[in-house]
Amino acid sequence: MLEIEGLNKTFASPSGDVVALHQIRLQVEKGQFVTFIGPSGCGKSTLLKIVAGLDTAYQGSVKLNGKAIAGPGVEKGFIFQEPRLFPWLNVERNIAANRSLRDKEVCKQVDELIELVRLKGFEKAYPRELSGGMAQRVAIARALLRRPEVLLLDEPFGALDAFTRTHMQEVLLDIWENNKTTMLFVTHDLDEAVFLGQRVVIMNPRPGHIRNVIGIDLPYPRKRSGSSFQELRSRVLSEFEKVETPAIEIGAGI
Amino acid sequence: MNEATVLDVKAGTGAAAQKRTGSRLPKWLYGWLLPLLLLTIWEIAARLNLVSETMLPAPSLIAAAFGRLAASGELAEHLRSSFIRAGGGFLLGGTIGLLLGVFTGLGKWAERTLDPSLQMLRTVPLLAVIPLFILWFGVGELSKWLLISIGAFFPLYFHTFLGVRSIDFKLYEVSKVLEYSKLQLMTQVILPAALPNILLGLRLSVGTSWLLLAVAEMMGASSGVGYMIQDARVYMQTDIVFVGIILFALVGKLTDSAVWILERRWLHWQNTYKG
C-alpha cells in the first residue's frame, strides 16, 4: 500500500520559491489503478517522481508498505513520457538491461514479456527500427521484468496517435489484470483517465493540490460509448471545469 | 490497387532502371578513377621528358624501386621499426588519454583541477617542443615514443571527455530506476554512449601518431620509413622518397580503415544520416 501524507514540495526559482505541491494526502491500495489528471503545472509529474524516489527534496511522508521511500529502485517501475531505451541494445537486451540473458530464468521471462506486450518477431530489432508505440511497449516490458510493486506512468502514451494509444491502453489493462500491479498513471487526457482508472485524482495548479478523487465504478473492459461511461466522464469533466474557473475569473477581472 | 499507386510503382521502377544504366561501373572503382587518370598523365609526361627524373620520377620507376626494396627485405625492416614506434607511442599516449578522459569526464572535481592545464597544453604546437625533447631525452627511441604518445594523447583525451559528458541525463535516470551498480553504469551506459566520440578520438589519435612518427624519424633515426625518406633525399633518390610517402599513405589508410571497421561493428545502432 502507498501512503502519502502532508506532502509539500517547493522549487526555488529566480523569482522566488514556487509551491509545486501543497498538502497532498492520498492512499493507494495494493493492486489499484489510479489515474491523475490536471492541467500542466499542477504537479502531477512531480508527485510521480517523488513516489519513484527520483526526487527526494520534499517535506512530508511518502511510504510504500509502511517504509519511507529512500531512492529510486526496481520495486517502483517508472515509464517516462519517452521510451528511453538504450539505443545500442536490441529489444530483448533492452528489456533485460542490466540482467544477463544468459541466465535461463531471465531469458524465459523476457520471452514471456515480449509475448505479453505483443512484440513477437521484434526481439532482435534496435530502437531506431521501432515505432513510438512499440518502443514504449519495450519500456513497459523492461519495467515489468523487475516485478515492480507499483508501476508509475508519466503520460506514457502522450506522444502516440489515437489508434496506437487506444491499443496501448488495452495492452496496459491486460498487463494489470494479469499481474495486479499497482498503477499510478498520469495523463492530461480525460477519456484515458476515465477509461483506465478505478479512481481518478483531479489536481489543481498554483499551488498543485488534489481537488477531488472520483471513483470509477465500472467493470472492465469498459466501453467508451456506454452511457454510464459517458455519465462518469461528464462528472469528471465538470469537476475539471471547476478547476479552470478561477483562472477565467481572474482574466475577467482585468 | 488504385490507379495512383500503379503509376507510383511504374515511376519507381523507371527511376531505378535509369539509375542502373547510369552506373555501369562497379561502385568501388569510382574512388580510383581520379588517381588512375593522374598517374597516366604523370607517366606520359615523364616518358616524354617533360619533367626531370630527379624531381618527379615516372610512376613505373617508383614501382620498380618499390619492388626492389621489398625484395631485399629493406622495406619490411623499415616498416617494422616504424610500426613499433608508432604503435608503442600510440598505445602509451592513447591509453592514458582514454583513462584520463573518462576520469575527468566522470568527476567535476577532476575536471576542475585537470582540464584547464590540459586544455592549455593542448594548444601548444607539438613540433615546437621537439628541441626540448631532444635536449632532455636525446635523439634516441625514448624521445620519439614520448613525442608520438603526446600526440596520440590529446585527441583521445578530449573526445573521451566529450563523450562521457554527452550522455543523456534521461538514460542516467533510467539506470537509477533499474538499479544499475556503479560498475554497470560505467560499462553498460557510459561507455557505449561515449563510444562514438571515443572512436572519433581514436581515429584522430592514429592519424596524429603517423604524422609525428614521420617527424620523429626524420629528426634522426637509423631505421624506419621516415629515415628511409630522409636518407634517400640526401642521395637524390627521389623514387625512394616517393616509395616512403606511398608507404605512409598506405599504412595510414589501412589503420584508418581498421578504426572504420570498428565503427561499423560497434556503432551500427546509431540512427544517423548515411548519405
B111-159: per-residue pLDDT in tens? 999 989 998 988 888 888 888 888 998 888 899 999 999 999 999 999 9
Report angle CA B43, B47, B53 to the nearest 5 degrees: 85
pLDDT of residue B273 exceeding 70, the answer is no
pLDDT digits (tens, 9 = 90+) for A159-212: 888 888 898 899 899 889 988 899 999 998 999 999 999 999 999 888 889 989
Asked if A76 lies within 8 A of B177 by C-beta distance, the reply is yes
Compute the Cα dihedral for A84, A89, A93, A98 and give only its sign.
negative
Whether the ω angle into residue A221 lies within 30 degrees of 0, i.e. cis, is yes
DSSP label at residue A198: S
The answer to the question of residue B226 being in a domain is yes
The answer to the question of residue A75 being in a domain is yes
- Grid coordinates of A121: 518477431
The answer to the question of residue A221 being in a domain is yes
Mean of pLDDT values over B157-186? 93
Asked if B269 lies within 8 A of A89 by C-beta distance, the reply is yes
pLDDT band, residue B22 (cuts 50/70/90) = low
Partners of A27 in the β-ladder: A3
pLDDT band, residue B3 (cuts 50/70/90) = very low
The answer to the question of residue B198 being in a domain is yes
ipTM for the complex shown:
0.85
The answer to the question of residue B94 being in a domain is yes
The answer to the question of residue A78 being in a domain is yes
The whole-chain average pLDDT of chain B stands at: 87
Chain A residues touching residue B192 (CB < 8 angstroms) = 86, 88
Q: How far is CA A101 from CA A78, A94, B154, in A?
A: 22, 10, 38
CB contact at 8 A, B155 and B97: yes
Longest dimension (CA), chain B: 82
pLDDT digits (tens, 9 = 90+) for B42-97: 999 998 988 888 888 999 999 999 999 999 999 999 999 999 999 999 999 999 99
pLDDT of residue B19 exceeding 60, the answer is no
Chain B interface mutation, best of A98, A130, A146, highest count of B Cβ atoms under 10 Å: A98
Name the least confident of B23-27, B124-128, B197-201, B230-234.
Answer: B23-27
d(CA A73, CA A79): 13
**Quick one: closest CA in B to A129, which residue?**
B271
Give how many domains chain A has, as a whole number: 1
The answer to the question of residue B167 being in a domain is yes
pLDDT on residue A181: 92
Chain B residues touching residue A78 (CB < 8 angstroms) = 177
Chain B interface mutation, best of A88, A95, A136, A140, highest count of B Cβ atoms under 10 Å: A88
Q: How far is CA B29 from CA A215, A232, B19, B164, B253, in A?
A: 72, 71, 17, 39, 17
pLDDT band, residue B12 (cuts 50/70/90) = very low
The answer to the question of residue B121 being in a domain is yes
What domain range includes position B192?
59-265
- Grid coordinates of B168: 543523456
pLDDT of residue A50 exceeding 80, the answer is yes
Task: Check if A82 contacts B (Cβ < 8 Å).
Answer: yes
Asked if A98 lies within 8 A of B178 by C-beta distance, the reply is yes
The answer to the question of residue B81 being in a domain is yes
A185 or B270, greater pLDDT:
A185
Of B170, B178, B271, which has the smallest distance from its Cβ to A97's Cβ?
A: B178
The residue length of chain A stands at 254
DSSP label at residue A58: -
The answer to the question of residue A229 being in a domain is yes
Of B174, B269, B270, which has the smallest distance from its Cβ to A84's Cβ?
A: B174
Please, what is the angle between helix B74-106 and helix B108-122, to 10°?
140
Element containing residue A118 per DSSP (H, E) = none
B206 or B19, greater pLDDT:
B206
**Quick one: closest CA in A to B191, which residue?**
A88
Residue A213's CATH number = 3.40.50.300
Q: What percentage of residues in chain A have a pLDDT greater than 70?
A: 95
pLDDT of residue A84 exceeding 90, the answer is yes
- Grid coordinates of B234: 640526401
H-assigned helices in A61-220: 91-96, 104-116, 132-145, 162-179, 190-196
Q: Closest Cα to residue A47, out of A170, A150, A194, A180?
A: A150
| 3-class secondary-structure state, position A28 | strand
Give how many domains chain B has, as a whole number: 1
pLDDT band, residue B219 (cuts 50/70/90) = confident
Cα-only R_g, chain A = 19
pLDDT of residue B211 exceeding 80, the answer is yes
d(CA B122, CA B151): 9
Nearest chain B CA: its distance from A56 CA (Å):
13
pLDDT band, residue A250 (cuts 50/70/90) = very low
pLDDT of residue B29 exceeding 50, the answer is yes
CB contact at 8 A, B156 and B198: yes
pLDDT on residue A248: 46
The answer to the question of residue B147 being in a domain is yes
pLDDT on residue B189: 94
pLDDT on residue B32: 86
Chain centroid to CA B181: 35
pLDDT on residue B14: 45
Whether the ω angle into residue A127 lies within 30 degrees of 0, i.e. cis, is no
One-letter amino acid of A100: S
Asked if A74 lies within 8 A of B179 by C-beta distance, the reply is yes
In the A/B pair of chains, how many CB contacts fall below 8 A?
55
Task: Check if B72 contacts A (Cβ < 8 Å).
Answer: no
What domain range includes position A175?
2-83+147-244
* Strands of the A150-154 sheet, one edge to the other: A76-79, A150-154, A182-187, A33-37, A199-204, A209-215
d(CA B104, CA B112): 8
The answer to the question of residue B270 being in a domain is no
Chain centroid to CA A156: 7
Compute the Cα dihedral for B33, B35, B40, B41 and give only its sign.
positive
Pairing between strand A199-204 and A59-64? unpaired
Residue B161's CATH number = 1.10.3720.10
